[in-house]
Structure 1
Amino acid sequence: MTIHIRFAEARDIDLIHGFILALADYERLAHAVRADKAVLAHHLFGPRPAAEVLIAEKDGAAAGFALFFHNFSTFEGRPGLYLEDLYVSPEARGAGIGRALFARLARIAVERDCARMEWAVLDWNSPAIAFYRSLGAEAMDEWTVNRLDGAALAALAGAPT
């Protein structure tokens, strides 16, 4: 068995979109997916890419992905790497693909002088939480994620809804 991790290209947009839909289904959030292939292509491979994607292949077949972008720590004075989504196909789980994706992300973070890697996990996803702990990750339980979107975002911006 061989695992290969590569950066996604524009030609991978169908694959990326499919992984996003599969992840949303697993997370019981399929109803929340609004992204279509055109929107993803624009924001991932357009003139100002907002994020990057890694594709994991097992024996030459796509098996998973990781979508990430850079944030910035004012306390550290350095960038960070934020992992938005990571997904491994059910039939490929247990083969080390998740670990390989995380190792590649860690190498990217080190190469780019990032102070840290961060991500969120749903509190009910105990297999993922156990996996993250096995990597040495620490829960940031004292922090609470906040979100402003939709009508509330538009209202605060003074934009018509």
Structure 2
Amino acid sequence: MLISKPFTPQWQVRPATLADLPEVHKQMQQLADFEGYLTDFCVTENDLIELGFGCDPQFNLLVASQNGKLGGYAVLVYQQFSYDLTPVATLKELFVAPAYRSTGAGQALFQAVIQTAGDYGACRMDWLVLSNNTRAQQFYQQQGGHPSSQWIRYEIALQRSD
């Protein structure tokens, strides 16, 4: 007797709407908790509206939805030009809610991010992965990504003049 898995509808990836922001914000907090900076997390829903939905959006915000549920989101930003005068895309965040992991939501988001960056005219895309997040590293390698052998990320904390 052949037993088939129940049909799982495909994830729809689309630009976020204002109605998505409460759930996206909640998921951003979950990511901040996972990555260890929840106490410093200060993004509000109003910040997302001002920076992402105004006349000069500072980022692309994509969401993966299925049957009315928001399974995850991705944030994409651009450096306007590099050595060859083409923009470089940076995937700042890709998060899939725990209940939706291993359902294809992450892959759908990642493919949509690649398409969005290409449509923008970006020549390449980069992103960071926590060194101890082996699950994410495996996921990105399955998508064709690889660690850079040419660059080492450095950082310095700057004082803000608010």
Distance of 1:26 and 1:139 partners within structure 2: 21
How many residues are treated as equivalent by the alignment? Answer: 153
Q: Which residue of 2 aligns with 1:144?
A: 153
Alpha-carbon displacement from aligned partner over 1:66-85 (angstroms, at most 9, x marks no partner): 01111134223211221111
Distance 1:38 1:118 in 2: 27
Root-mean-square deviation (CA), in Å?
A: 1.7
Q: Deviations over 1:31-83 (max 9, x none)?
A: 12011222222111123221110010123311000011111342232112211
5+ residue gaps, structure 1: 155-160
> Any idea what the Cα deviations from partners look like across 1:105-156, whole Å, max 9, x if unmatched?
111122222101111111111110111111121212532132443x2x43xx
Match of 1:89 in 2: 97
% of aligned pairs identical? 25
Q: Which moved more, 1:9-18 or 1:49-58?
A: 9-18
- 1:41 aligned partner: 49
Q: Distance in 1 between matches of 2:47 and 2:80?
A: 25
Name the aligned partner's letter for residue 8 of structure 1: A
TM-score by length of 1: 0.86
Aligned to 2:121: 113
**Match of 1:23?**
31
Instruction: Tell me which of 132, 144, 148 is aligned to 2:140.
Output: 132
The answer for unaligned runs of 5 or more in structure 2 is 1-7
Instruction: List structure 1 segments (4+ residues) > 6 angstroms apart after TM superposition.
Output: none
Higher normalized helix content (fraction of residues): 1
Structure 2 CA distance for partners of 1:5 and 1:46, relative to 1, 3 Å: same
Structure 2 length-normalised TM:
0.85
Q: State the shift of 1:13 in Å.
A: 1.9
